[in-house]
Each structure stands twice: as C-alpha cells, then as structure tokens.
Amino acid sequence: MAPSQMKGLTQFIINLRNSNDSEEEAKRINLEINNIQTKFATNLNGYQQKKYLCKLVYIYLNGYHEGIEFGLKHAIELVDSQVYSEKQLGYLAISILANKNSSKIDLNNTLNIVYPILIKDLRSNNEDINCLAIQYIASNFNLSDNASYQIDESDENSSEWLELIDMTYSFVTSPIHKPIVKRKAIIALFALSKLYPKVIINNNNWIPRILTLIDDKDFDIVISSMPLVEYVVRLKPQFIKSIIPAIGLKLFNIVVEGKCPEEYYYYKIPAPWLVVGLLHLMEQFFLMKDKDIPVLCISNLDDQTLNNFRQVVSTSIQNASQSIKGLPNRNSQSSILFQAVSLAVFLDASEDAIHGAINALILLLNSPDTNTRYLALDALTKLTSRSNIPVGVDDTIPKLFQLLYDKDISVRRKALDLLYATCTPLTFSSIINRLLDYFPFSDFSLKSELGIKIAVLAERFATDSTWYVTTMLKLLSIGGGYNSNGVSYIGNEVWERIVQIIVNNEDLQQKTCKLIINLLKNPLVLSANGKSQPIQTGLSENLIKVAGFVLGEYGHLVNDADTQFQLLYESYFRVSLLTRAMLLSTFLKFLVKFPDNDFVPEIIDLFEIESKSMDLEIQTRAYEYLKLATISSNFELAQKTIKPLPAFVNVESSLLHRIGGYHDISRRKSRVLAKNIPRKSPTADITNGEDDTNPFDDTKTALSPNWYSGYYRMLHFDAGIFFESPLIKLTYRILKEGNNILIRFTIINNSAKTAGTDITKFTVLELESRAGDTDPSYLLNLKQVPESTIRDKSVLEIEIKVRSVIENNESPILSVTFMCGGSFNQLNLKFPVLLIKTLSATILGSEDDFEKRWLQIGELLGTNEGEYTTTVIPSASFTYPNIIRLLSRLGFAIVYASPENPPSNLLIKGAGILHTQKSNYGVLTKVKSIESEVQENGYNIVVRCTGGGIAEVIALTLKEILQEDL
Amino acid sequence: MTIHFLLILNRQGKARLVKWFNNDYSNQERQRYLSEIHRLISSRDDSKYQSNFVEYEQQHKLVYRRYAGLYFVFGIDLNDNELNYLESLHFFVEILDEYFNNVCELDLVFNFYKLYNILDEIYLGGQIQEISKSRILERLAYLDKLA
C-alpha cells in the first residue's frame, strides 16, 4: 500500500536534505519556522494545520528545539479535529513538543495541558478516538522502574490523575469494548499504576480483576497484561498463587499441546513472544521476595500445575535439539530454550537434570556463533548461581578464562559473571589469582566490576587472613589506575572495606602494616601472562590511602617508624588532593605516636607549607593540625585529639550492592569474613529497624453475603451445599483421617441451565489461613485446582493438616473469582477448620469408665483448665433426639443417653478423641437439661478434655451449632 | 519486561526513528545516548565475531541488528531475554517491509510520523502489545482508511 503523503512536507524534507552544510540547513529551518508561524496566524484548514505541525515535529526531531514552542498550542487545537488523521497528528505533536524533561513538575504541567482533551476523547463513543487518548497516556505518562517520584493525594492535581486512572480502568474491565481497546488500556493502566501506586494498593477489588487478565483467551491481552500483573503481584504478593495454575495451563496448551491460533504463529513457532513472556514472568515470580522470603516456592503449586510447567520446560528443551531451518525459527526456538532453562532450577529439577543441562550448555561455549556463546554463558550463570551447582572444574574453567579474551566484550563480560558465580571453596584461589592476572588486560569498562568481584570473592572464601590481606593489597596495587574521566578503576568501597576488616580484626593489624611497607618499598611486578613485557605497576592511590590509614593507626605495632614515614612522605606530592588530605591526618598521628623521631620537624614544616595551599580542604586541615601540634608543648593537645578508631559496627559489605548481573547471585549464602571477626567494643547498638509493616496491607477480607449458612452447615455435616447463587453452586464433602482433613468442593455451573453460559477464568484468588504465621495451628494446601472454564462442574480440593489446638477464630477464607456471562464475580467464603473436625469416637467399655475418666481429668487438670461449662437454648430444630444425633455425627461415641420420656433430667454423655499432629486429646461431654430454668429446653454443656484449655474450644463450638437456626 | 527505547540509526549516525518509551531521559541524555550508542554499535559491526547484544551504561542491554544501511536498536532491561527481542526487531522490520512495500531508508525519512503510529500498534509504552502480524497490518490499513 502506498501511504498517503503531504506534498509540502515531502518537498521540505527534500530541500533540507539537499542542503550543502549545516549552516544552510539551519537557515532553511529558520525560514520555515517563520513561514509556519505566519501561516498559523491566518485561517488554516485542518489539512494545512496538520502539514505545518508535521514540519515542526520534523524540525524538532532533527535537533532544532528553539523557536517552535508556539507549535504546542496549535497541536492542542488540532486534537480537537473531527478528522482522525489530524487528531492523531495533534497527539503526536503534543507528545514530541511537550515532552521536554523528566521531572515531576514537567509531568504535572503536561497533564494540565492535555487533561481536558484526554477526558473528552476517553468519553467519546468512537473506539478509535478512545485508543488515541489511551495511547497517549501509555506512552507519555510512563515512568521507568527506578523513577524518583510518584503521585499521591498530596499532589495538587491528584484528582485529575485519579479520574484518568478510573477511566482507564473501566476500559480494562469493560465487557463491551473490543480487545484492542482493552489491550491498550491495560498498558496505559500499568503506566498510571507505577505513577500512582496507592490506587492499586487501596483498591482491593481491582486486583482480582486485573489478575484474571493473564487468563484471557486473547493472546494479545495476555501479553499486554504481563507487566501489569507482575507489578500488582509485587505490590500484593499474597495473590501470586491464584494465577499460577492459569499460566501453567496456558503454557502447556501452547508448548506441549500445540494449541495456538494460526495467526499467532511466527514462522513455524507458536507465539514465541507469549511463551517467552510467560516463562519470564514465572522466573520473576520465583525470584520475587517479600521481606526476604520468596513469595513463591514449588510447594505452593498443585501437582497438576507443577507437572504442566515441567512438561513445558522439557518439551522446550527437546524442541531445541531438533534442527530447524531459517534464522527466525532457530532464534525463536533458542529464545524459548534459554528462558525455559532459567526456569528449570525453580521447578525442583534433580541434581542430575541440572548437571545434564549444564553439560549441554558447556558444549555451546565452543560454538562459532557469538550469540550462542553469549547466551550459553548467561544461562550457565543463572543455573549455577540458583542451583549452587558449579560448572565442571577441570575443563570448563580454563575455557572460561579463554573466553575472557573473546573478541566480543559482551562475551567477556558474561564469562566474568560466570566465573564469579561458579567460584567454590575448591577453586577460589586459582580463580582469584587468574582474575588478578587478567586485570591489567581487561577492558576499561570492565575493570571496576572486576575489582569488586575479586574483592567480594576474596572476602567470601577467605580461610586465611594473611592470604586475604595479601590478595586485597595486590588488587589495590594493580588496580591503581584511573580512566580518562579520572575515576579510579577500583571503587572507594573496596579500600574502605579492607580498612573496615583490618580495624575489626586485631590479628591482621601488624601483619598488614608489614605487608604494606613491603609493597611500598617494592612495587608489584606483574608476570603479564606471557603476553608482553612484565608490567610495572605505578603508584596506586588506593594503596596509599590504605597505607595512610593503616600505618597511621597501627604503624606503632611494627618498628621502623622512620621508614614508614619516608615511604608515605615520598608519595605525598604524587597523589591527588583527597589522598593528601588523608595523609595529613596520618602525619598528625605519627607526630603523636613518635614525638621524638627525626621526622617531626618535617611534618611541622609540611603543615606550615600546606596551610597556604590553594585547596581549601588541605589548607584547613594543615592549619588546624599545625595549631594542634604547636599550641601546647609535647603535642599535648594533639594527643587528646587523636584516639584509636573504634570497631565498625556495620559489617554488611557495601560491595554487594555494586555487583552487577543477577540479584540473586549476590544473595547467595556465604560466609562473610567480617562477620566472623570479633568486635572490639561496638560503640552503638544497631538501631532496631523501623517497624516496616505496610499500613495498606491486610485489610480484612470482606466476606460475601450469605457465607454463613454454608459455614454453619459445614460445622456439623460432612457433606452438603456450601454456597449457592443463580450462577454457581459449591457443594462439599469432608473426609477425615486423624489430624488430616480433606475438603472436596464440587463447583457446579448453575448458569448453564438458566442462561446456557460457561463459567470462565475460575481462579482461586486466595486461600487465606488465619492460623498465624510463626507456628500455625494448621496447614492448608490447595491439592487440586478446578479447571478455569467450567461448563458443567469441576473439583477443588483442600488438604488440611491440623498441627495443634486451633482456636475458634482461626478458620480460613477461600476467595475465588470467575467470569460468567460478561460479569466478574468474587466470592470470599469462610469455611470451618475447627478442632472438633478431628474428633473420632472412642469406645469406652461402660458408663463407669466414662465417669472414671471424667474424674481423672478433673483431678489432673482441675476444673479451671480441664473443664468448661456453658448454657445454651437450642434452636427449635434441635430436639432432644436431634441433639443425640448431632453429637454422634460430630464424632462422639454416645456412652449414655437418658430416655426422652419423661422430658426431665435429660442427660447425654459422649466421648471422643481429638487428633492433632502434636498430640491427641481425650474429650468427654455431658449435655443435661436445666430443669430449674424458666425457659424450656435449656441445656448445660459441660466438657472435660485432657488438654488444658481445649474444653472451652469444644464447648463453644457445640454451643454455636446448637443455638443457630438456619 | 520493558523496552526503554527503539532507535533506527543509519551508518553515519543519523537517526531515522527515535522512540523513548518512558519519560526518564532528559534532552541532553537523549542526545548523548544517540551518539554513544551509534559509536558503540558501529564499532561492533562485525557479525562474525560480535554478538547482537551489548550492555550499555550498566542499566540497559542493547539488542540490535543491521538491515542494509540501518541499525535497529532496542534498549531493554538487563534481565530480559535477548533473542526474544532480537527476533521482535525482525518482526518489526517485516511489518515495515510489508506496510511500505519493500521498505527503504527514504520511506522512513518521508514517513517519519507514520512510524510512531505503527509503533503504537506493536510496542505501546515499551510493552509488546500485539504479536500477530496479520492483525497488525489489518489494523494499520484500517487506520489509514480513517484518514
């Protein structure tokens, strides 16, 4: 198709391209700007406005930003046009001309300009016009992940933002709009959520709807919603489990079953971007942490889902081993392969399987294709760092060192990452030595990272303090250089860290002084790996900094202060001002510690000279030190000022923050040397971290209306209807075995009969245990998740392990969401997980036995702990015979029941055993009628139990059951 | 899972399409990025020994590919799948090729404003929005008719 063009624009571009030099071009542009400005003063039709604005945009894009500000006003006018292409260009012109800077003020200013037109276009009945406004939002209000600002209610125009967000959200959930509008709105909502996260955090009812987007039938909706879903889960990690089964099934259908609509095939591969996207999303989920605890682990997945993921991974690996023609096919296949391998570790692959994958990837390191070598290194780094299984030692490490000299710096960088990740207590010393050898030959852009990695590895694996200090000093010696911007290759963190460790470790102090003196006397000569002439390391500022500090502080531990001083004094005028300032302090310490040595006058002279220094810092220091040293005799004043350095309290290495690459690598559990170093005398307690509980967190789930009847039924019947509405019905069956309870829900599509529709996107949003976090009284496990589309019925199974005594208020809440006939529904239903559900009958020989036990409990625990009495007036349905039936249904063995007639002095005695993982408890109950009461049918419930306090739990449950009437 | 920018540069370093998908870059930064990225990528223009990926500024990964005299460059997150985006560039080029009926550099010069509309149908706000080629081309044809 030949896109329609604007002639005047084309001619203008041709003229500009024909300019001989930039001067001529600038001239033409200025002429045209004037021309356009004049034209806009006249009455222009829409086409002309569009053409001239387009020229202005072109001018702007070519780097001429001055003198065209007037264009913005006309762009806003043009957006009002009824002609689509004119409106479209108006939006483009605004986004380019108004998009000046990245600050919050600019953003709010832009909003003020565009707000009226956006609202108008979002309200339009024309979807194409809706799309233009949504697209504008998605591309112009989009902050990156590390943006420095957000919007909240304290912002002046927060209500405008909120309105945009509300409108965008309504497109996302609208049942009437086309998928394309929805998709764009999803991306726009993602941008707005990052800008104004509180909206998502506070809108609890939005979250389930957003999460179900990932289960949409439309592949494009799924792919558009991945970033938003990831973002929401990051804000509310508790919802993560609800979406995993849908992702697993979707991947399984595409990758294993090959179910993919024709139009989503890319060459021969079904929807590669969707597959990689979903695998990547899963990888991110597994890496996600909430207060340092992974939010997802394999035990959270039900068997079917886990199996789906495993099959997806193994099929992807198999597919990749079959050769396929054409670069697009091969690239797509490999992109899926590498993504699948990154996920495999989290799926609890066996060590053998990981070794297999590692070996396969190692073979790829010899590939002639550079991309392949790069990607294989990348995948190996992820595998080894996440599985803690290092790559093979014998052949691979030499290969990796070879790859440090690859022609492509990207490969060199990845090889370094892998060497870092694969370092073990067996290999660290050879790896570190070779990395030190490599340092002088490494790229400038790699040196800083290399230095940090060496430092971290040395600290992590060091077993011998002398080795550690030697290695680090060597690193500082060879890494002394600067890049062209005057930035040291080795960051300050490195030498600061060494100082920290030396200060905190007394054994090291003397040793280090000796080593430093040696290094200053005989600078290191590098062997240069046989590549060229040996390399003489120059003066290393970092080494001087450490030397200045360590000798100043601990120099007295070794003899020969004169030599020490001379070495430092010689380097004084060869180092930067910053280092000189440090050395001045060192010299002051020398003065105090060695007041009788010959170098004292030299120091005083230096202070005097430097107190006239051009540099303010040096001047100030020198002057102050001079006064300290000269005001009183014998340096008394200086002596009072100079005190030994206290131990560092903060033992976390700041180096770890600087490690590039994958975050999880640095988190690897390791022995950090400094942590093993005894502290001298910590000067301050580590302040307790602020209580960082999120104030928005855990707003109590609001239960759905009518939840109680199902809950109540479940209290005493082991099967029945749990919930019913015109759309859906949940029935249940409870299977008990000791302390294990299995609840099998059957979800029945009621709307099939009435409206003939399917229930879709059925998701278990949350299974919220109320059993406490630290030592939960019971554990919940979602054993089987129902199918997401329910035509007729599907099964949901929940496994409960009762660990200890469950309090009566600890019952969990099951939250499910589903779509039915275009409507979105959420149910939050509480179901009883109570101690009484573990009750089983005991066969007591006789009533005498019962009474004997009854007395035993009384003697053993006393009536305070062992017994509980309560009064209840049962609802009408609980006649005396029904109470007997109830008790036996609950699991009591009925040891005795008085006859119904005469209806006085009624008495039932029941016995049973409660099962928990920790212990079993005998429980006895007496239910007797109260004759003296005015009301008829009043009963006393007396419960005795062998576990302290449990009698109350059981008695109150019985009471709840008896007095309700539903 | 985000594309930070998409650049089309010719071998001389002239930008044929510049799209910043988020607001984080100041004007000076944008200028610096363009010239540095061109220098970086043209120095790696040796498909035999150089991969299609290179880290830039410790916060972006560049995924790029040369088609005739033009470099197509994505700036993506460090933890993103390189090949996936490399192939997406090819997908984009195929769409341009069909839309402009054998695309050449001049098409991009004269239709610079249309490129933004095309981008909005594939990579909105730096997110992959649509992965079906036929649907994208249909949509573009439909929007052209609206004009």
Helix axis angle, A707-716 to A950-963, nearest 10°: 120
Whether residue A368 has a cis bond before it, omega within 30° of 0: no
Q: pLDDT tens for residues A189-199?
A: 999 999 999 99
Lowest mean pLDDT among A174-188, A423-437, B5-19: A423-437
Does residue A296 contact residue A248 with C-beta atoms inside 8 Å?
A: no
Q: How many CA atoms lie within 13 A of A830 on its CB side?
A: 20
Please give the backbone phi and psi of residue B54, each rounded to the nearest 5 degrees, phi first.
-155, 140
Q: Is the Cβ pair A331, B128 closer than 8 Å?
A: no
Which pLDDT score is estimated for A595? 86
Q: Encode B118-142: b = buried (16+ Cβ within 10 Å), e = exposed.
A: bbbbbbbbbbbbbbbbebbbebbee
Helix (H, G, I), strand (E, B) or coil at A719: strand
**Are A845 and A896 contacting, i.e. CB atoms less than 8 angstroms apart?**
no
How many contacts (CB atoms, under 8 Å) link A and B?
A: 201
ipTM of the shown complex = 0.97
**Is residue A696 over pLDDT 60?**
no
Q: In the block, which residue shows the tokens 């996260």? A: A197
In DSSP terms, A830 is beta-bridged to A813
Task: Kindly list the strands in the beta sheet with A740-749, ordered across the sheet, starting from the edge strand earlier in the chain.
Answer: A719-724, A728-737, A740-749, A793-802, A778-784
Q: How far is B87 from chain A (nearest CA, A)?
A: 7
Task: Kindly list the distances between the CA atom of residue A133 and the CA atoms of A16, A130, A738, B4, in Å, as whole numbers in the listed order.
Answer: 33, 5, 61, 21
Closest CA to A227 of B101, B104, B128, B71: B128
Is residue A654 within 8 Å of A497, Cβ to Cβ? yes
Q: Please, how many CA atoms are within 13 Å of residue A506, restricted to the half-sphere of its CB?
A: 6
- Please check whether residue B43 touches A, CB under 8 A: no
Best of A144, A193, A336, A378 to disrupt the B interface (most B CBs within 10 Å) is A144
- For A664, the closest chain B residue by CA position comes to B79
pLDDT of A293 > 60? The answer is yes
The shortest C-alpha distance from B6 to chain A (Å) reads: 13
pLDDT digits (tens, 9 = 90+) for A419-448: 999 888 888 888 999 999 898 888 888 888
What domain count does chain B have?
A: 1
Cα A320 from chain centre: 30
Chain B residues in contact with A90 (beta carbon < 8 A): none
Phi and psi based region of residue A720 (left: phi greater than 0; alpha: psi -120 to 50; beta: remaining): left
Percent of chain A exceeding pLDDT 70 equals 90
Residue B43, judged by CB atoms within 10 A of its CB (0-12, 13-18, 19+), counts as exposed
* Alpha-carbon gap, residue A885 to A883, rounded angstroms: 5
State the helix-helix crossing angle for B82-99 and B112-122, rounded to 10 degrees. 130
More confident residue, B129 or B1: B129
- The domain in which residue B112 lies consists of 3-146
- Amino acid A692: pLDDT: 36
Host H or E run for residue B40: helix B27-42
Give the number of other Cβ atoms within 10 Å of residue A846's Cβ.
10
Backbone torsions φ then ψ of B135, nearest 5 degrees: -70, -35
Q: B124 — contact with chain A (CB < 8 Å)?
A: yes
Tokens 């509480």: give the residue.
Answer: A830
DSSP string covering A494-506: HHHHHHHHHHH-H
Q: Which candidate from B23, B78, B143 shows the least CB-CB separation from A102?
A: B23
CA A309 – CA A297 distance, rounded (Å): 13
Least confident of A681-685, A921-925, B4-8, B143-147: A681-685
pLDDT at B140 over 90: yes
pLDDT tens-digit readout, B14-37: 999 999 998 778 888 889 999 999
Tell me the chain B residues in contact with residue A226 when contact means C-beta distances shorter than 8 Å.
1, 127
Q: Helices A561-572 and A600-610: crossing angle, nearest 10°? A: 20
| Phi, psi (deg, nearest 5) at residue B101 | 55, 80
* pLDDT digit string, tens, across residues A116-159: 999 999 999 999 999 999 999 999 999 887 778 899 888 889 99
- Shortest distance, CA B51 to any CA of chain A (angstroms): 5
Residue pair A348/A298 in contact by the 8 Å Cβ criterion: yes
CA torsion, ordered A469, A475, A476, A477, to nearest 10 deg:
110
Q: Which of B82, B88, B114 sits opposite A3 (nearest CB)?
A: B114
Residues B23, B29, B35, CA angle at the centre, nearest 5°?
125
CB A414 within 8 A of CB A370: no
Do residues A450 and A442 touch, judged by C-beta distance below 8 A?
A: yes
User: What are chain A's domains?
Assistant: 251-349 (no CATH), 707-833 (2.60.40.1230), 839-963 (3.30.310.10)
Per the CB < 8 Å rule, is B120 touching A410?
no
How does strand B3-10 pair with strand B15-20?
A: antiparallel
- Which residues in chain A are closer than 8 Å to B8, comparing Cβ atoms? none
Closest CA to A513 of A561, A451, A571, A584: A561
What is the pTM assigned to this prediction? 0.81
Q: Are A415 and A448 in contact (CB under 8 A)?
A: no
Which one-letter DSSP state was computed for residue A295?
S
User: Which chain A residues touch B15 with a CB distance below 8 Å?
Assistant: 61
Please report residues of A whose CB lies closer than 8 A to that of B17: none
Predicted pLDDT of residue A440: 85
Distinct helix (H) and strand (E) counts, chain B:
5, 7
Helix and strand counts by DSSP (H, E) for chain A: 39, 20
The angle at the Cα of A278, spanning A276 to A279, to the nearest 5 degrees, equals 65
B80 with A280: Cβ contact below 8 A: yes
Encode A683-709: b = buried (16+ Cβ within 10 Å), e = exposed: eeeeeeeeeeeeeeeeeebeebeebee
Please give the structure tokens belonging to residue A757.
């529709």
Mean pLDDT of B50-72: 92
The region, left, alpha or beta by phi > 0 then psi within -120 to 50, assigned to residue A910 is beta
The answer to whether the beta carbons of residues B34 and B15 sit under 8 Å apart is: yes
Cβ–Cβ < 8 Å for A225, A186: yes
Nearest Cα of chain A lies from the Cα of B106 at a distance, in angstroms, of 10
Cβ atoms within 10 Å, residue A643 = 7
Which of A420, A461, A459 lies closest to A438, judged by CA? A420
**Look-up: residue for tokens 């020490």?**
A564
* pLDDT tens string A896-942: 888 887 777 889 999 999 999 888 999 999 998 887 654 566 888 99
Is the distance from CB of A384 to CB of A358 less than 8 angstroms? yes
Query: Measured between alpha carbons, how far is A679 from A681 in angstroms, rounded to an integer?
Result: 6
Phi, psi of B62 (to 5 degrees): -95, 130
Domain CATH for B105? 3.30.450.60
Q: Please say if the pLDDT value at position B142 is more than 80.
A: yes
Report the C-alpha gap between A57 and A50 in whole angstroms.
10
Beta-sheet strand order (sheet of A813-820): A759-768, A813-820, A823-830
Contact: A273, B84; criterion CB under 8 Å:
yes
Contact call for B129 and A187, based on CB within 8 A:
yes
Going by the DSSP 8-state scheme, the letter that residue A790 receives in this structure is B
- The residues, any chain, with a CB within 8 Å of residue A678's CB and separated by 6 or more, are A504, A505
- CB of B114 within 8 Å of a chain A CB? The answer is yes
pLDDT at A87: 95
- List, edge to edge, every strand of the sheet that includes B70-76: B15-20, B3-10, B70-76, B60-67, B53-56
By the 8 A CB rule, do A871 and A941 touch?
Answer: yes
Q: How far is CA A510 from CA A469, A471, A496, A593, A853, in A?
A: 11, 16, 18, 16, 75
Cα distance between residue A244 and residue A436, in whole Å: 45
Q: Helix, strand or coil for residue B15?
A: strand
Say which amino acid occupies A115. Answer: Y
The C-alpha atoms of residue B38 and residue A841 are separated, in whole angstroms, by 81
Nearest to A102 by CA among B92, B21, B77: B21
pLDDT score of A691 more than 80: no
Chain B's closest residue to A90, CA to CA, is: B113
Which pLDDT score, from 0 to 100, does residue A297 have? 87
Mind listing the pLDDT tens digit for each residue in A861-886? 887 888 999 988 888 888 888 899 99
pLDDT in tens, A812-841: 999 999 988 878 889 999 999 999 999 988
Q: Cβ distance A74 to A38 under 8 Å?
A: no
3-state helix, strand, coil in chain A (%, to 5): 55, 15, 30
| pLDDT tens readout for residues A72-96 | 999 999 999 999 999 999 999 999 9
Say if CB A56 and CB A66 are below 8 A apart: no
pLDDT band at A524 (very low <50, low <70, confident <90, very high): confident
Name chain B contacts of A184, Cβ cutoff 8 Å. 124, 129
Looking at chain A, which residue has its C-alpha nearest residue B139?
A: A180
Q: A208 and A817 in contact (C-beta within 8 Å)?
A: yes
Q: Measure in Å the smallest separation between the Cα of A452 and chain B Cα atoms.
A: 14
Alpha helices (runs of H) in A322-395, residue ranges in sequence order: 327-344, 351-364, 370-387
Name every residue whose Cβ is closer than 8 Å to that of residue A795 and which is 6 or more positions away in sequence. A744, A745, A746, A747, A784, A786
